[in-house]
Structure 1
Amino acid sequence: MSSHVFADRSGAQPPRRGPVTGPVAVDALISRTRRLRGEVDAVRPNPPMDEDDPHVRWQRALCDLAVHHLDDLGAQLDQLREGLDAPGPDVDAYDPYAFRPAGSGELFGHEADHAQSSGSLLSRVGSAEWNLLTDGVNWSDELFAILGRPLDGGPMTLDELPSVVHPDDQALLTALVTGCLVDGRPIDGEFRIVRPDRRERTVHMMGEPVLDADGSTASMWAVFRDVSALRRSEQAVRDSQETLRRQQHAERTERRLAVELQEAVLPPWHGSLTFPLGGPAELDVAARYFPSANSALIGGDWYDALQLPGGGSLLSVGDLTGHGVAATSSMAMLLGALRGMAVAGIEPRRLMEHLNQLMETAAQPTLGSAVCCRVDPAGRTLTWAQAGHPAPLLFRDGTGRALTPPDGVLLGAAASPEYEQADVDLLPGDLLVLHTDGLTRTSAADATDHTPLLDLAPRLAAAGTAQDGLRAVVERFGGDGREDDACVMVVRIGS
């Protein structure tokens, strides 16, 4: 770069000290900035945190970014306060050749002392002047520190400055300086520098040409600000936002797949379903799936009603641990196996044994609970087995009770367990309620407590159809705020 270049037009003059604003007002701004900085730092998440959670990383990156912005603002306000405390030069006697932003005491007279008290805030801001008439160069101590250059190495000329700039950014620096010296344009740009220890820093440079009385460029001053931490925080925010966006997209995709799989597997019938019980009597069935308040928690709850080849009916409800595609795919496998074995005539307790074996050998091991009921139309007998599941409720003559459960452990909890089954005689007008544990469970209630459902006995006893009974259950338990998804099936024995 040439050391003596004349500007084609007058450039903006360097800032002169003067009463830009009152010291009291600046003190108030400094106090408010420091208080806000402390409040932001107080709410900033600190390790140890869940580093795998993009929400946490995003929040911490935003707080870091805010802290860096407030640090920079505090440093600039401190410099402004120092400038307001010092007397300004005589404008009429202003000498452009005497401009010394670095260490001369004429613009930043207290800069060195203030750097000691401000610590790292002001140490990220340095200044320089290149006198084009005398080839003199003046740097502040802070600029030496920013560039990692020892003080005894002396300041660098404009020709030498590109040697510390990253090779990819040298053309940018040349364009900035040439535009300032030749066209009188202010400098305002960022570039990377490579320190002697090979560490890269990002520097924001602002400067202007200083013209003499003839309009010739006499010198150029510049202020350098180390914005490396600020840019790292901004990049961390962008990276965290992108990670969060990808995770949210993956969660939405997984939820859509889970919903589609669930809808494909659960029975397609709506309203009521009827099965013959011999003569004019029918088995009236209605069921409902209740999603959780958290739409992301698509679980493995199921209900199913199936007419068997021999004239009987299979009724089942169940629940698998977990949520999302893994739970719904396991539910689809289990329900498919259950239907196939039931059609083959396998009795309920054997069904449970085979389902347990299937769960043990599954590619994605999980636990599950289930209840399976086979209704014999000839004797109107309910034969049922359960695997760690809430017992069916029988409502008769205006009262309700839970059926005494036969022995049975959770599916997938033990190797080769034995399951028992029980028989119950059904009477015309009886109403059965099969459900998963999420139906009545709240933060204050045990999932095995049947009291909330039994309290509906008067309404359920008066229900003329299974749909009427289901409507009573929905009105009581179908509201918002459900912690988990659930299924319920209401079965009425016709007369």
Structure 2
Amino acid sequence: RRGPDELARRLGAEALGWLGARAVLLTVLEPDGALRVAGAHDLPPHVVSEWARIPPHCNVGLVRALREGAPLWEADPRRLALVGAAAGLPGPHSCVPLVTGGRTIGAAEITWSPDTAPDAGTRRYVRAVLEHCARRLRELVPAAGGVTDAPWLRALLDAVQAPGALMSPVRDESGRVVDFRVDAVNADAADLPGHRPEDLVGMRLLEHYPGLAVAGLFQEYVRVLETGVPLRRGPGESAGAGEGPPAPSTMSVRACRVGGGVLASWRFHADAADLAGQLAQAQRLGNLGWSRWDLVTGETDWSDHLYTLFGRARAAGPLPLERLADHVVPEDLPQAEHLMRTLLGRREPADLELRVRVGGDVRHLRVMAEPVLDSTGEPVALHTVFQDVSQRRRSAEMLAATRRQLQRERRRIAEERHIAVELQRAILPLPRGPRTLPGLRTAVRYLPAQSRARVGGDWYEASTLADEEVFLAVGDVSGHGLDAAAAMARLRNALSGLACTGAPPDRLLAWLNRLVTHRHRSLTASVVAARFAPSTRTLVWAQAGHPPPVLRRGGGAELLSPPDGVLLGAVDEPRLTATTLTLERGDLLLFYTDGLVERRDRDLSAGFELLREAVAACCGAGPDDLIDHVLEALGAANPNDDTCLLAVQAT
């Protein structure tokens, strides 16, 4: 399965191996500034385990590169702890930050061969490769350095009862922090003069608030980033944060390091909101309310938002404790009784969930309560907090339903795949090893797609006809799954039957096209068909939208020029022609389906050229060895399509 370890392997063995890279370690940045190992290549497992999580204050090369924001191309193992050195690998060690989209998500350590020294050109290439690596690592480990995108952080920002922002450092070429970029803010950040919260995201701090440098606050933010020591400043007079000339103001600032950035909150005390406003905001954000029931006097106090949770008008006043059970759904009454026994009988705090009727709706309320005891230990009051968790419960139920549906769909796909595979095996038996036909030695391979959900309609035919000629064919039916396997069976059987008429291949394909267009209009297929006469070594072949065979003769190879032909099922009366090829003793022809040459990460013409080169390079090999070499050269099985190969050699 593709993951960070595979990414590290490809980085070390393929992208950097030719430059002398010997081992690679990939780490991702966590919210507390620590580095967690994500993937490794050519490092002993016990070393990777020992370095699984690197604290942010260690004298480690990876941490130093991250803190300084610049690569350490030849880190000294006598001064810095290095993973490659701990593994006993000699040679230069490089520690490089992993940056994508202007954001640092982790760091990589590369151990080079002892005779390798990364020069200027190598360093530019490594940084470019690692930028692509960081982007891919961010996809494989979404939490890597992505603190600003985390829902919990945005919820935390909104819960802070003061203006707050998360900022990431802006560094120059040497890695020195020259500014901060605002990545996320909460709604109260409008307290910054002259700007709405949405205006602040993306801003450069010193460009818009130069007074922070005068006040020394910018330097303190840098210190928080580099040391991890939180900042608590004020209240006190300092230069204002607004644009233009700095003006004195009284403010408090708090800041801490979060991942590769700084989380800061501030308050201008002249504009501080009153406590009631802050409490109201906390109720709204948390969707909660609280109450106090006095068990001696019977008096009840409710917060404003608790009326909203119970759907009760404020003019009606708080709900008496004894009437609370009237709103609980009958199935949850035993839990409500357990709640009261815990609070009043055992005199202990309680935390449980109840379903409550609110008008025609049912809400899930989390109840957190504790008793207030007098000097004799008797309960005299109840303090209770209610939180509406209905949306969370509905989301959990929807998620559970989706999981059940997904499991059913997986079972259905697995059953369909099993049937399709068994159908293919029954219809398309594969010979073990090479097979001899009149005038030919043949070999066949069938490789199913790597994706478990995809079973295709690729097929082959290699059989002796009544006149001692040999009929050869390879085809590919459109689509995947059981339908494609069934269609493959129909077309293969039809073409095999038509071949017994002795008609040339182009006429056979014309008849097969008529069958497809009249009886299977939603179907298309590609086919190459040939008749071989052993006495003259003459091969007559035709194709319908299929890749051309490859001929190996002597020490070279070429793709044959195909005769006219389009996909079966594309038009009613296609132009189909045949061409003749005389084989020499030892000539080898390779028929195949498009799954061999098609890949999403390369052009089709490049795939054909790779195939031609692979066939030419396997000079003198028989059909069986040739197929093995071609599959190895072109990357074995296609992850998205089946592959069928038929190799024939004239004897």
Asked whether 1:244 is paired with 2:406, we answer yes
Matched to 1:285, the amino acid is T
For structure 1, the 5+ residue unaligned runs are 1-27, 30-58, 80-109, 277-281
Contact 2:615 2:626 (C-alpha < 8 Å) held by counterparts: no
Structure 2 vs 1, CA of residues 409 and 248 (structure 1 numbering), >3 Å: closer, same or farther? same
Q: Counterparts of 1:246 and 1:410 in 2: how far apart (Å)?
A: 36
Q: Name the structure 2 match of 1:453.
A: 611
* Per-residue deviation, residues 111-166 of structure 1 (Å, max 9, x unmatched): 743233447214x2212222222222222212111111111011111222122222
Higher radius of gyration, 1 or 2: 1
Q: Name the structure 2 match of 1:94.
A: none
Match of 2:508 among 326, 347, 351: 351
Counting only pairs closer than 5 Å after superposition, residues 85-100 of structure 1 correspond to structure 2 as none
Asked whether 1:337 is paired with 2:500, we answer no
Q: Counterparts of 1:454 and 1:302 in 2: how far apart (Å)?
A: 22
Structure 2 vs 1, CA of residues 341 and 114 (structure 1 numbering), >3 Å: closer, same or farther? same
Q: Counterparts of 2:275 and 2:405 in 1: how far apart (Å)?
A: 42
Matched to 1:133, the amino acid is V
* Per-residue deviation, residues 270-325 of structure 1 (Å, max 9, x unmatched): 2111112xxxxx31111212344444433222222112222211111111222222
Asked whether 1:188 is paired with 2:351, we answer yes
Asked whether 1:287 is paired with 2:465, we answer no
Q: Name the structure 2 match of 1:202.
A: 364
Q: Counterparts of 2:321 and 2:569 in 1: how far apart (Å)?
A: 76
Q: Name the structure 1 match of 2:278.
A: 114
Matched to 1:328, the amino acid is A
Structure 2 vs 1, CA of residues 158 and 314 (structure 1 numbering), >3 Å: closer, same or farther? same
Match of 2:395 among 224, 233, 239: 233
Q: Name the structure 2 match of 1:172.
A: 335
Match of 2:459 among 302, 320, 339: 302
Q: Counterparts of 1:211 and 1:449 in 2: how far apart (Å)?
A: 81
Q: Name the structure 2 match of 1:262.
A: 424
Q: Name the structure 1 match of 2:291.
A: 128
Q: Counterparts of 1:447 and 1:482 in 2: how far apart (Å)?
A: 19
Contact 1:187 1:206 (C-alpha < 8 Å) held by counterparts: yes
Secondary structure of the 2:551 match is strand
Contact 1:431 1:461 (C-alpha < 8 Å) held by counterparts: no
Q: Counterparts of 2:607 and 2:381 in 1: how far apart (Å)?
A: 86
Q: Name the structure 2 match of 1:462.
A: 620
For structure 2, the 5+ residue unaligned runs are 1-30, 33-141, 163-273
Structure 2 vs 1, CA of residues 288 and 408 (structure 1 numbering), >3 Å: closer, same or farther? same
Q: What is the aligned-residue identity percentage?
A: 36
Q: Counterparts of 1:428 and 1:297 in 2: how far apart (Å)?
A: 39
Secondary structure of the 1:438 match is helix
Contact 2:329 2:357 (C-alpha < 8 Å) held by counterparts: yes
Q: Counterparts of 1:284 and 1:69 in 2: how far apart (Å)?
A: 67
Contact 1:373 1:384 (C-alpha < 8 Å) held by counterparts: yes
Shift of 1:74: 7.3
Shift of 1:447: 5.0
Matched to 1:208, the amino acid is E
Asked whether 1:380 is paired with 2:543, we answer no
Secondary structure of the 2:404 match is helix
Q: What is the TM-score of this pair, normalised by structure 2?
A: 0.55
Match of 1:148 among 273, 292, 311: 311
Secondary structure of the 2:596 match is coil
Secondary structure of the 1:159 match is helix
Q: Which moved more, 1:234-243 or 1:223-232?
A: 234-243
Q: Counterparts of 2:414 and 2:481 in 1: how far apart (Å)?
A: 10
Q: Counterparts of 1:267 and 1:346 in 2: how far apart (Å)?
A: 26
Asked whether 1:253 is paired with 2:410, we answer no
Matched to 2:357, the amino acid is V
Q: Counterparts of 1:267 and 1:127 in 2: how far apart (Å)?
A: 73
Shift of 1:491: 0.8
Q: Counterparts of 2:607 and 2:281 in 1: how far apart (Å)?
A: 67
Matched to 2:487, the amino acid is S
Structure 2 vs 1, CA of residues 304 and 126 (structure 1 numbering), >3 Å: closer, same or farther? same
Shift of 1:333: 2.0
Shift of 1:350: 2.6
Structure 2 vs 1, CA of residues 228 and 72 (structure 1 numbering), >3 Å: closer, same or farther? farther
Q: Counterparts of 1:132 and 1:295 in 2: how far apart (Å)?
A: 65
* Per-residue deviation, residues 64-98 of structure 1 (Å, max 9, x unmatched): xx8489849975x869xxxxxxxxxxxxxxxxxxx
Contact 2:548 2:562 (C-alpha < 8 Å) held by counterparts: yes
Asked whether 1:360 is paired with 2:524, we answer no
Matched to 1:271, the amino acid is G
Q: Name the structure 2 match of 1:407.
A: 564
Structure with the larger RCO, 1 or 2 (CA within 8 Å, 6+ apart): 1
Bigger fraction of residues in strand:
2
CA RMSD between the two structures: 3.3
Match of 1:223 among 366, 375, 385: 385
Secondary structure of the 2:432 match is coil
Contact 1:437 1:448 (C-alpha < 8 Å) held by counterparts: no
Secondary structure of the 1:370 match is strand
* Per-residue deviation, residues 326-358 of structure 1 (Å, max 9, x unmatched): 222221221122222223444322321232233
Q: Name the structure 1 match of 2:132.
A: none
Contact 1:312 1:375 (C-alpha < 8 Å) held by counterparts: yes
* Per-residue deviation, residues 216-275 of structure 1 (Å, max 9, x unmatched): 332322211111222233334333333333333333333333333322222331211111
